[in-house]
Amino acid sequence: MTFKYPGGKTYKTKQESELVHHFQPNYGNRGMTLEEDLNATNEYYREHGIAIIHKKPTPIQIVRVDYPKRSAAVIKEAYFKQASTTDYNGVYRGKYIDFEAKETRNKTSFPLQNFHEHQIYHMKQVLDHGAICFVILRFTTLNEIYLLDANHLLTFWERQKNGGRKSMTKQEIEQYGHYISLGYQPRIDYIKVVEKIYF
């Protein structure tokens, strides 16, 4: 009998998972999304008393629900209540932290279309209040991750608005951003970079 999670993913016992993992080659943990890696990292930070960072829930309004069985409800129609701001926020060493996480398959540039006007406006507001604000950018095909201060992102955004290029080059990200090496625990130790550049 096959069991599935609510999202449709097939449930496997620990033994099955270990068996599959044992026989599959390791490709640098390519199956993990940036969000999953960051969520695991944030959990590590919370458990070890390093920082309190959470993923912001996306507010949705449920319109229609079907009840095929008494014990199960299926959402058939819903919409976003409002435009989301950034992905993550929290506190580190008494300072408010707010950041967005994005990934691209491009190897030489990061498209600015990955960001929305309301997110840029939100980041500017956060910076205006003296908080720490940045973006974490992953080049998925290269498996490279960078932390870029929001001030630099705002500069590139303005350049685009004034008719300039619609992306940040990888060289620009390397120049103004900070490389984050991947680890095991935590997976993406961005707080180490935050400590270095903001404190």
Instruction: Give the count of beta carbons closer than 10 Å to the beta carbon of residue 103.
Output: 17
- Residue 98 counted as an annotated binding residue: no
**Cβ contact 104:166 at 8 Å:** no
Residue 16 labeled ligand binder = no
Contacts of residue 113, Cβ cutoff 8 Å, sequence gap at least 6: 166
Annotated ligand binding at 100? The verdict is yes
Cβ-in-10-Å burial (0-12, 13-18, 19+) of 34 comes to middle
DSSP string, 54-104: EEPPPPEEEEEEEEEETTEEEEEEEEESS----SEEEEETTEEEEEEEEEE
35 annotated to bind ligand: no
Cα separations in angstroms, 122 against 54, 87, 125, 189, 198: 17, 11, 5, 24, 20
Residues forming the annotated binding site?
85, 87, 100, 119
Residues forming the annotated binding site for Mg(2+)?
85, 87, 100, 119
